[in-house]
Amino acid sequence: MNFQQLRFVREAVRRSFNLTEVAAALYATQPGVSRAIKELEDELGVELFVRRGKRLVGLTEPGRALIDVVDRMLTDAQNLRRIADQFSGDDAGGLILATTHTQARYALPPVIKQFKGRYPRVHLGLHQGSPQQIAEMVSKGQADIGISTEALDTFADLLTYPCYIWHHAVIVPTGHPLVDFGMLTLDAIAEYPIVTYDEAFTGRSHIDAAFLRAGLAPDVVLTAIDADVIKTYVEVGLGIGIVASMAYDPARDQSLELLDSRHLFEPNTTRLGVRKGSFLRGYMMEFIRLFAPGLGADDLASLAEPRAA
Protein backbone atom coordinates (compact mmCIF):
# COMPACT_ATOMS: atom_id res chain seq x y z
CA MET A 1 0.00 0.00 0.00
CA ASN A 2 1.30 3.47 -0.83
CA PHE A 3 0.02 7.03 -0.76
CA GLN A 4 -0.23 7.29 -4.53
CA GLN A 5 -2.71 4.40 -4.57
CA LEU A 6 -4.74 6.20 -1.89
CA ARG A 7 -4.64 9.43 -3.89
CA PHE A 8 -5.98 7.61 -6.94
CA VAL A 9 -8.85 6.16 -4.89
CA ARG A 10 -9.79 9.51 -3.37
CA GLU A 11 -9.57 11.33 -6.69
CA ALA A 12 -11.68 8.65 -8.40
CA VAL A 13 -14.49 9.40 -5.96
CA ARG A 14 -14.06 13.14 -6.41
CA ARG A 15 -14.09 12.82 -10.21
CA SER A 16 -17.25 10.68 -10.29
CA PHE A 17 -15.16 7.58 -11.15
CA ASN A 18 -13.84 9.06 -14.40
CA LEU A 19 -10.32 7.61 -14.57
CA THR A 20 -9.34 9.81 -17.51
CA GLU A 21 -9.92 12.87 -15.32
CA VAL A 22 -8.16 11.20 -12.37
CA ALA A 23 -5.09 10.55 -14.51
CA ALA A 24 -5.02 14.14 -15.79
CA ALA A 25 -5.45 15.60 -12.30
CA LEU A 26 -2.64 13.52 -10.79
CA TYR A 27 -0.27 13.54 -13.78
CA ALA A 28 -0.55 9.81 -14.43
CA THR A 29 -1.80 7.56 -17.21
CA GLN A 30 -5.23 5.94 -17.15
CA PRO A 31 -3.80 2.38 -17.33
CA GLY A 32 -1.45 3.28 -14.49
CA VAL A 33 -4.34 4.51 -12.34
CA SER A 34 -6.40 1.38 -13.05
CA ARG A 35 -3.46 -0.88 -12.25
CA ALA A 36 -2.64 0.93 -8.98
CA ILE A 37 -6.26 0.72 -7.79
CA LYS A 38 -6.46 -3.00 -8.65
CA GLU A 39 -3.18 -3.68 -6.83
CA LEU A 40 -4.54 -1.94 -3.72
CA GLU A 41 -7.75 -3.98 -3.89
CA ASP A 42 -5.72 -7.19 -4.25
CA GLU A 43 -3.62 -6.27 -1.23
CA LEU A 44 -6.69 -5.46 0.88
CA GLY A 45 -8.57 -8.50 -0.34
CA VAL A 46 -11.75 -6.55 -1.19
CA GLU A 47 -13.05 -4.65 -4.19
CA LEU A 48 -13.46 -0.95 -3.48
CA PHE A 49 -15.30 -0.05 -6.69
CA VAL A 50 -18.29 -1.36 -8.58
CA ARG A 51 -17.28 -2.01 -12.19
CA ARG A 52 -19.19 -2.16 -15.45
CA GLY A 53 -16.75 -3.70 -17.85
CA LYS A 54 -13.54 -1.70 -17.43
CA ARG A 55 -15.37 1.37 -16.10
CA LEU A 56 -15.78 2.30 -12.45
CA VAL A 57 -19.40 3.22 -11.68
CA GLY A 58 -19.54 3.46 -7.89
CA LEU A 59 -18.23 2.35 -4.52
CA THR A 60 -18.82 -1.08 -3.07
CA GLU A 61 -19.87 -1.43 0.58
CA PRO A 62 -16.22 -1.93 1.67
CA GLY A 63 -15.28 1.04 -0.51
CA ARG A 64 -17.81 3.27 1.22
CA ALA A 65 -16.50 2.12 4.60
CA LEU A 66 -12.87 2.76 3.68
CA ILE A 67 -13.07 6.06 1.78
CA ASP A 68 -13.22 8.18 4.96
CA VAL A 69 -10.15 6.35 6.30
CA VAL A 70 -8.31 7.01 3.02
CA ASP A 71 -9.19 10.68 3.27
CA ARG A 72 -7.96 10.93 6.87
CA MET A 73 -4.71 9.13 6.03
CA LEU A 74 -3.93 11.56 3.22
CA THR A 75 -4.85 14.56 5.39
CA ASP A 76 -2.61 13.28 8.20
CA ALA A 77 0.24 12.74 5.73
CA GLN A 78 -0.07 16.35 4.61
CA ASN A 79 -0.13 17.44 8.26
CA LEU A 80 3.10 15.51 8.91
CA ARG A 81 4.85 17.43 6.17
CA ARG A 82 3.50 20.74 7.42
CA ILE A 83 4.51 20.05 11.00
CA ALA A 84 8.03 19.13 9.88
CA ASP A 85 8.20 22.31 7.80
CA GLN A 86 6.95 24.30 10.78
CA PHE A 87 9.94 23.30 12.89
CA SER A 88 12.52 23.37 10.11
CA GLY A 89 11.71 26.97 9.18
CA ASP A 90 8.50 28.95 9.12
CA ASP A 91 9.38 31.75 6.72
CA ALA A 92 8.99 29.85 3.44
CA GLY A 93 6.35 27.69 1.80
CA GLY A 94 3.08 28.05 -0.03
CA LEU A 95 -0.39 29.36 0.78
CA ILE A 96 -3.37 28.76 -1.51
CA LEU A 97 -6.34 31.07 -1.04
CA ALA A 98 -9.73 30.44 -2.64
CA THR A 99 -12.05 33.43 -2.82
CA THR A 100 -14.50 35.44 -4.90
CA HIS A 101 -13.65 38.31 -7.22
CA THR A 102 -15.02 40.87 -4.76
CA GLN A 103 -12.80 39.67 -1.92
CA ALA A 104 -9.76 39.30 -4.19
CA ARG A 105 -10.23 42.73 -5.74
CA TYR A 106 -11.29 44.85 -2.78
CA ALA A 107 -10.76 43.17 0.61
CA LEU A 108 -7.54 41.18 0.19
CA PRO A 109 -4.98 43.54 -1.43
CA PRO A 110 -3.95 45.42 1.75
CA VAL A 111 -3.84 42.17 3.73
CA ILE A 112 -1.72 40.40 1.12
CA LYS A 113 0.62 43.38 0.88
CA GLN A 114 1.16 43.34 4.64
CA PHE A 115 1.53 39.55 4.69
CA LYS A 116 4.12 39.53 1.89
CA GLY A 117 6.08 42.20 3.73
CA ARG A 118 6.42 39.81 6.65
CA TYR A 119 6.81 36.58 4.66
CA PRO A 120 8.48 37.40 1.33
CA ARG A 121 9.48 33.75 0.78
CA VAL A 122 5.93 32.41 1.01
CA HIS A 123 4.44 31.81 -2.43
CA LEU A 124 0.78 32.79 -2.65
CA GLY A 125 -1.79 31.26 -4.96
CA LEU A 126 -5.10 33.07 -5.44
CA HIS A 127 -7.90 30.92 -6.88
CA GLN A 128 -11.16 32.66 -7.74
CA GLY A 129 -14.53 30.98 -8.11
CA SER A 130 -18.12 30.87 -6.99
CA PRO A 131 -18.82 30.41 -3.27
CA GLN A 132 -19.71 26.77 -3.92
CA GLN A 133 -16.47 26.20 -5.83
CA ILE A 134 -14.48 27.89 -3.06
CA ALA A 135 -15.99 25.63 -0.39
CA GLU A 136 -15.31 22.57 -2.54
CA MET A 137 -11.67 23.58 -3.11
CA VAL A 138 -11.05 23.87 0.63
CA SER A 139 -13.00 20.69 1.36
CA LYS A 140 -10.92 18.75 -1.18
CA GLY A 141 -7.60 20.15 0.06
CA GLN A 142 -7.02 22.14 -3.12
CA ALA A 143 -6.89 25.39 -1.11
CA ASP A 144 -5.67 26.09 2.41
CA ILE A 145 -8.09 28.90 3.23
CA GLY A 146 -11.43 29.89 1.73
CA ILE A 147 -12.94 33.36 1.98
CA SER A 148 -16.51 33.99 0.92
CA THR A 149 -19.84 35.41 2.02
CA GLU A 150 -21.84 32.33 0.99
CA ALA A 151 -21.57 28.52 1.06
CA LEU A 152 -18.59 27.95 3.39
CA ASP A 153 -20.73 27.37 6.46
CA THR A 154 -22.84 24.75 4.66
CA PHE A 155 -19.97 22.23 4.39
CA ALA A 156 -19.79 19.94 7.44
CA ASP A 157 -16.08 19.22 6.98
CA LEU A 158 -15.07 22.89 7.18
CA LEU A 159 -14.41 25.09 10.21
CA THR A 160 -15.69 28.59 9.47
CA TYR A 161 -15.53 31.90 11.32
CA PRO A 162 -17.10 35.31 10.67
CA CYS A 163 -14.55 37.95 9.66
CA TYR A 164 -16.39 41.19 8.97
CA ILE A 165 -19.80 42.63 8.08
CA TRP A 166 -20.44 44.65 4.94
CA HIS A 167 -23.40 46.29 3.22
CA HIS A 168 -24.76 46.75 -0.27
CA ALA A 169 -25.03 50.18 -1.81
CA VAL A 170 -26.65 51.69 -4.90
CA ILE A 171 -24.39 53.28 -7.51
CA VAL A 172 -25.67 55.68 -10.18
CA PRO A 173 -24.12 57.89 -12.85
CA THR A 174 -23.26 61.41 -11.73
CA GLY A 175 -26.33 63.63 -11.95
CA HIS A 176 -28.83 60.75 -11.76
CA PRO A 177 -32.25 61.72 -10.28
CA LEU A 178 -31.76 59.41 -7.29
CA VAL A 179 -28.81 61.52 -6.11
CA ASP A 180 -31.21 64.19 -4.85
CA PHE A 181 -33.95 61.79 -3.76
CA GLY A 182 -33.09 61.88 -0.07
CA MET A 183 -33.33 58.65 1.93
CA LEU A 184 -33.62 55.90 -0.64
CA THR A 185 -36.58 53.52 -0.75
CA LEU A 186 -36.95 50.20 -2.50
CA ASP A 187 -39.88 51.63 -4.46
CA ALA A 188 -37.67 54.40 -5.81
CA ILE A 189 -34.93 51.96 -6.80
CA ALA A 190 -37.41 49.62 -8.50
CA GLU A 191 -38.41 52.43 -10.89
CA TYR A 192 -35.11 51.95 -12.74
CA PRO A 193 -33.43 49.02 -14.53
CA ILE A 194 -30.99 47.30 -12.18
CA VAL A 195 -27.51 45.85 -12.77
CA THR A 196 -26.26 43.66 -9.95
CA TYR A 197 -24.60 40.40 -8.94
CA ASP A 198 -25.29 36.91 -10.18
CA GLU A 199 -27.65 34.98 -7.91
CA ALA A 200 -24.87 32.92 -6.27
CA PHE A 201 -22.51 35.81 -5.50
CA THR A 202 -21.85 38.62 -3.07
CA GLY A 203 -25.00 38.59 -0.98
CA ARG A 204 -27.43 38.63 -3.91
CA SER A 205 -29.94 36.63 -1.85
CA HIS A 206 -30.28 39.59 0.56
CA ILE A 207 -31.06 41.92 -2.35
CA ASP A 208 -33.76 39.60 -3.69
CA ALA A 209 -35.21 39.04 -0.22
CA ALA A 210 -35.58 42.78 0.40
CA PHE A 211 -37.58 43.33 -2.79
CA LEU A 212 -39.67 40.22 -2.17
CA ARG A 213 -40.64 41.38 1.31
CA ALA A 214 -41.67 44.73 -0.16
CA GLY A 215 -43.80 43.01 -2.81
CA LEU A 216 -41.67 44.47 -5.63
CA ALA A 217 -40.39 42.83 -8.82
CA PRO A 218 -37.38 44.90 -9.95
CA ASP A 219 -36.23 44.85 -13.56
CA VAL A 220 -32.78 43.23 -13.28
CA VAL A 221 -31.44 43.77 -16.79
CA LEU A 222 -27.94 42.37 -16.30
CA THR A 223 -26.10 40.28 -13.72
CA ALA A 224 -22.38 39.67 -13.29
CA ILE A 225 -19.95 38.16 -10.78
CA ASP A 226 -17.60 41.13 -11.04
CA ALA A 227 -18.37 44.54 -9.49
CA ASP A 228 -16.11 46.23 -12.05
CA VAL A 229 -18.32 44.85 -14.83
CA ILE A 230 -21.43 46.08 -13.04
CA LYS A 231 -19.94 49.56 -12.68
CA THR A 232 -19.00 49.62 -16.37
CA TYR A 233 -22.58 48.99 -17.46
CA VAL A 234 -23.92 51.55 -15.02
CA GLU A 235 -21.49 54.08 -16.50
CA VAL A 236 -22.81 53.46 -20.02
CA GLY A 237 -26.40 53.98 -18.86
CA LEU A 238 -27.79 50.45 -18.79
CA GLY A 239 -29.29 50.97 -15.32
CA ILE A 240 -28.47 51.66 -11.71
CA GLY A 241 -26.17 49.28 -9.85
CA ILE A 242 -26.38 47.45 -6.55
CA VAL A 243 -22.89 46.41 -5.40
CA ALA A 244 -20.89 45.79 -2.26
CA SER A 245 -20.11 49.23 -0.85
CA MET A 246 -16.40 48.29 -0.68
CA ALA A 247 -16.40 48.07 -4.49
CA TYR A 248 -16.84 51.83 -4.86
CA ASP A 249 -13.65 53.89 -5.02
CA PRO A 250 -14.25 57.67 -5.23
CA ALA A 251 -10.86 58.23 -6.85
CA ARG A 252 -11.39 55.66 -9.59
CA ASP A 253 -15.15 55.85 -10.01
CA GLN A 254 -15.44 59.58 -10.61
CA SER A 255 -18.32 59.17 -13.08
CA LEU A 256 -20.39 57.33 -10.47
CA GLU A 257 -21.96 58.24 -7.15
CA LEU A 258 -22.52 55.94 -4.18
CA LEU A 259 -25.91 56.13 -2.45
CA ASP A 260 -26.27 54.82 1.08
CA SER A 261 -28.54 51.77 1.10
CA ARG A 262 -27.67 50.18 4.44
CA HIS A 263 -31.23 50.65 5.69
CA LEU A 264 -32.68 48.71 2.74
CA PHE A 265 -30.75 45.43 2.67
CA GLU A 266 -29.67 42.99 5.37
CA PRO A 267 -25.97 43.13 6.25
CA ASN A 268 -23.68 40.43 4.89
CA THR A 269 -21.00 38.48 6.75
CA THR A 270 -17.81 37.38 5.06
CA ARG A 271 -16.51 34.13 6.49
CA LEU A 272 -13.16 32.35 6.47
CA GLY A 273 -13.00 28.58 6.28
CA VAL A 274 -10.38 25.84 6.65
CA ARG A 275 -10.71 22.10 6.41
CA LYS A 276 -11.23 20.22 9.65
CA GLY A 277 -8.17 18.21 10.56
CA SER A 278 -5.72 20.37 8.61
CA PHE A 279 -2.57 21.60 10.32
CA LEU A 280 -2.01 25.29 9.66
CA ARG A 281 1.56 26.50 9.61
CA GLY A 282 2.55 29.61 11.54
CA TYR A 283 2.44 31.92 8.54
CA MET A 284 -1.03 30.63 7.65
CA MET A 285 -2.23 31.55 11.12
CA GLU A 286 -0.63 34.97 10.72
CA PHE A 287 -2.53 35.51 7.47
CA ILE A 288 -5.77 34.68 9.28
CA ARG A 289 -4.90 37.15 12.05
CA LEU A 290 -4.29 39.87 9.48
CA PHE A 291 -7.50 39.24 7.57
CA ALA A 292 -9.70 38.68 10.62
CA PRO A 293 -8.17 40.62 13.53
CA GLY A 294 -11.44 40.28 15.44
CA LEU A 295 -11.09 36.52 15.90
CA GLY A 296 -10.53 35.64 19.53
CA ALA A 297 -7.75 33.54 21.00
CA ASP A 298 -10.09 30.54 21.37
CA ASP A 299 -11.12 30.77 17.72
CA LEU A 300 -7.52 30.88 16.56
CA ALA A 301 -6.61 27.99 18.84
CA SER A 302 -9.39 25.85 17.35
CA LEU A 303 -8.14 26.66 13.85
CA ALA A 304 -4.56 25.78 14.73
CA GLU A 305 -5.30 22.42 16.36
CA PRO A 306 -5.63 19.44 13.99
CA ARG A 307 -8.70 17.34 14.67
CA ALA A 308 -10.47 14.36 13.21
CA ALA A 309 -12.09 15.16 9.88
Mean pLDDT of 41-57: 87
Do 143 and 283 share a structural domain? yes
What is d(CA 140, CA 142) in angstroms, rounded to the nearest whole number? 6
The per-residue pLDDT for 62 is: 86
**Over 90: is that where the pLDDT of 91 sits?**
no
In total, how many domains does the chain have? 3
Do 67 and 11 share a structural domain? yes
Do 121 and 46 share a structural domain? no
| Cα atoms in the Cβ-side hemisphere of radius 13 Å centred on 15 | 19
**Over 70: is that where the pLDDT of 305 sits?**
no
- Give 65-90 pLDDT, tens digit per residue: 888 888 778 777 776 666 666 555 55
Do 276 and 244 share a structural domain? no
**Residue 55 sits in a domain of what CATH number?**
1.10.10.10
The per-residue pLDDT for 301 is: 64
- How sure is the predictor about 307, in pLDDT bands with cuts at 50, 70 and 90? very low
Do 150 and 172 share a structural domain? no
- How sure is the predictor about 304, in pLDDT bands with cuts at 50, 70 and 90? low
Contact at 8 Å (CB) between 70 and 1? no
**Over 60: is that where the pLDDT of 195 sits?**
yes
Do 25 and 112 share a structural domain? no
Do 200 and 158 share a structural domain? no
- How sure is the predictor about 308, in pLDDT bands with cuts at 50, 70 and 90? very low
- Give 252-265 pLDDT, tens digit per residue: 999 999 999 999 99
The per-residue pLDDT for 173 is: 96
Residue 30 domain boundaries: 3-81
User: Please, which residues have CB within 8 angstroms of residue 155's CB and are 6 or more apart in sequence?
Assistant: 135, 136, 138, 139, 273
Cα angle, residue 71 at apex, residues 16 and 30 outer, rounded to 5°: 45
- Give 103-144 pLDDT, tens digit per residue: 999 999 999 999 999 999 899 999 999 999 999 999 888 899
- The secondary structure element, H or E, covering residue 72 is helix 61-88
Residue 309 lies in a domain: no
Q: Please tell me the pTM assigned to this model.
A: 0.70
